[in-house]
Structure 1
Amino acid sequence: MLVKDIAHTDVVTVEVETPIVDVARTMRDERVGSVVVVDGKGVVAGLLTDRDLVVYGLAGDRPVGDLVANDIFSTNVFCVAPDDGITEVVDKMHDEGVRRIPVMADGDLVGIVTLDDLLCHLSRELEELADVVRGEFPR
């Protein structure tokens, strides 16, 4: 299976100068745990998570009202392509210790794949395997 088969294409983005209070409201309203941060031209600059908001925003040294996304987002974000295999993505997530990865095609943001997406995919795969086992040993 490929990334494009499980990635969400409705990616929530904010601009680098978005106040973090507005970022938090966007995350709440959109019911997401992260947003992709883009520059003024729409180019991916990084990723900002709910954990970043707490650890670097609320618990930081500067007043929250003075902070914008650019002050606290993660810039060491790597991306995957829609045609990358799920196994490759799992390996990358494990190696990098991340839970979310933007999906890029030809330099454009086309989706995001999360640990939750992978777990849901895996649970479906395991259920299909369990069906095979149940079919072999009727009760």
Structure 2
Amino acid sequence: MTTARDLMSTDVVAVDSADTLEVAARHMRDADVGSLPVIDGEGRVVGIITDRDIVVTALAEGRDPTAVTVGELIDATLITVAPEDSAEEVLAVMKEHQIRRVPVLDGTQLVGMLAQADIARAMSDATVGEFLESVSED
């Protein structure tokens, strides 16, 4: 059985909720990723910030990326999966919530991120096609 642990990326860079959007954007650039898990002052994952969040929600509204914090932008709803969750369970969660990436937590510990690219590399073309169609629905 393929699990989230088998699919996830483990070299995860996180950003603190108190960091500015500029800091988050630099982390994304340096890690060559489009999203980062957001942690609080105690190291708990509290959300995800995406490059789209920064551009569409902040920059397009004229907000200053050197003044706005990551915590001001993230959605309070956090969807996660566990490392031992099956690939089918992970896909079901991502489809249900129409999300393209999900943090993998072992208890409260961030152990990886699972993105649609990870799924595309590991799953069948039919599974990938169905997944992409379902998370792209309006």
TM bucket normalised to smaller: 0.7 to 0.9
Q: Percent identity?
A: 36
Q: In structure 1, what is the equivalent of residue 84 of structure 2?
A: 83
Provide the residue aligned with 2:5 in structure 1: 4
1-structure distance, mates of 2:32, 2:60: 22
Partner of 1:133: none
Larger radius of gyration between Structure 1 and Structure 2? 1
Corresponding residue number in structure 1 for 2:94: 93
Report the counterpart of residue 28 of structure 1 in structure 2: 29
- Give matches, 1:1-139, under 5 Å: 1-60=2-61, 62-123=63-124
Gaps of 5+ in 1: 127-139
CA distance in 1, matches of 2:58, 2:34: 15
Q: Taking structure 1 as the reference length, what is the TM-score of the superposition?
A: 0.84
* 1:79 Cα deviation from its structure 2 partner: 0.7
Counterpart CA distance in 1 for 2:79 and 2:23 is 25
Q: Alignment partner of 2:22: what SS?
A: helix
Aligned length: 126
Partner-residue secondary structure (3-state), 1:89: helix
User: Counterpart of 1:4 in 2: which secondary structure?
Assistant: helix
Per the normalisation by structure 2, the TM-score is 0.84
Aligned letter for 1:6? L
Structure 2 portions without partners, runs of 5+: 128-138
Single out whichever of 70-79 and 15-24 deviates more from structure 2: 70-79
